[in-house]
Amino acid sequence: MNLLNKFRDPKLCQNLLSQIKEELEDEFRFMEVCGTHTVAIFQSGIRSLLPQGMVHLSGPGCPVCVTHDREIAAYLALCEKDLLVATFGDLIKVPGPGGRSLKTAQAEGARIKVVYSALDALNIALENPGQRVVFLGVGFETTAPTVAAVIKMAGKQGIKNFSVLSFHKLVPPALAALAADRQISVDGLLLPGHVSAIIGIKPYLFLAEEYGLPAVIAGFEPLDILQAILVMIRQKHESRARVENNYRRVVADQGNLRAMEVMDDVFERCDALWRGLGTIPGSGLAISSKYEEFDASKVYGQELPLVEEIPGCKCGDVLKGLIQPDKCPLFDTRCTPARPVGPCMVSTEGSCAAYHRYVL
Ligand code: SF4
């Protein structure tokens, strides 16, 4: 039996499910804030196996989904300049104002290239010294250190035709905004394994201390997820709240110090605009003045345009766990993975796309 199979053992999963059932007193609403958890919970069948009373909510954990219309509008505005825009594949399909996406801009002649990493974008700049290249920076603490490392590399190599439009976001401030929002009813949080591998456990401690919320860092295999759910329910059962690290094979309590150092050197905290959550103070990463020659917002004077919201799209409510995806009136009618209206239907990690794929 290989290591992964051990975390998918059906007998152990059944055992954990029985314990969850036994310890569940009444309703328990848990939210995951990681697109990989969203997909893992649907794909493994956990969602359908959970006992009655367990409510699974997907929060703002998919980086593409939380990218705001105004940020998409800024990306589109960059495409109108004489530039090559490099982007992750998911982002290219996200509809922005008026339903236009980067894919639309590409079809209209904008030079847009899908890349797998910021390093790919830097290499394009290196190979094409006459071409100005802008990388569209989205993602959480998982992605930001790699982008920071590439910006440092560009600085060391004296590359002049490369920059980044950074709309990177930080998870703990978004969790603070969710926890403080009285509209949102959540009993426990499944914390993201990937992000936690970078930031460790400390930035989440406020969830238990200030809001009395059980919160567990978990991996992505069925046993990881079920065990984390059991830990949350047990805490509620025992009327206590703690933040626990249940993903020790990957996440060190102190996080990845080197990655955080690189990130802190290149970025500084700024307020950021989240789809559904609005502006959250200190939740974004802007490129610091030390590296401003690589900051596309300064190099090209690109600000956030004012835009109208996508009519009818309920992505904001879905991302806050206020409604399940199928309660959006456009779900599976006007909005499908083939013709998405909102970003939650675009990304493979979006909750609407996961709901469409695994629930229907
Ligand atoms: S179904 Fe489509 S329009 Fe509705 S919330 Fe999901 S992504 Fe947005």
DSSP 297-325: HHHS-------PPPTT--HHHHHTTSS-G
- List the strands of the sheet with 267-274, edge to edge: 168-169, 278-287, 267-274
User: Which CATH number fits the domain 27-360, given the four candidates 3.40.50.11740, 3.20.20.70, 3.40.710.10, 1.10.30.50?
Assistant: 3.40.50.11740
pLDDT band for 196, please (50, 70, 90 cuts). Answer: very high
At residue 1, the pLDDT reads 55
Let me know: does 230 contact 30? Beta carbons within 8 Å: no
Mean pLDDT to the nearest integer, 22-30: 94
Distance 183 CA to ligand 1 centre (A): 20
Tell me what percent of the chain is helix, strand and coil, each rounded to the nearest 5: 45, 15, 40
Q: Which tokens sit at 53?
A: 């009373």
Residue 121 CB less than 6 A away from ligand 1: no
Q: What are phi and psi of 30, to 5 degrees?
A: -115, 145
At residue 309, the pLDDT reads 81
Q: Which of 65, 94, 275, 318 to mutate to test the pocket of ligand 1 (most atoms within 8 A of CB)?
A: 318
Residue 115 CB less than 6 A away from ligand 1: no
Residue nearest to atom 7 of ligand 1 (CA): 342
Residue 325 CB less than 6 A away from ligand 1: yes
CB atoms under 10 Å from CB of 245, counted, come to 18
Ligand 1 atom nearest to CA at 317: 5
Q: pTM of the predicted model, to two decimals?
A: 0.95
Give the Cα separation of 126 and 39 in Å (integer).
36
pLDDT band for 137, please (50, 70, 90 cuts). Answer: very high
Distance 322 CA to ligand 1 centre (A): 13
pLDDT digits (tens, 9 = 90+) for 74-117: 999 999 999 999 999 989 999 998 889 999 999 999 999 999 99
pLDDT digits (tens, 9 = 90+) for 339-350: 999 999 998 889
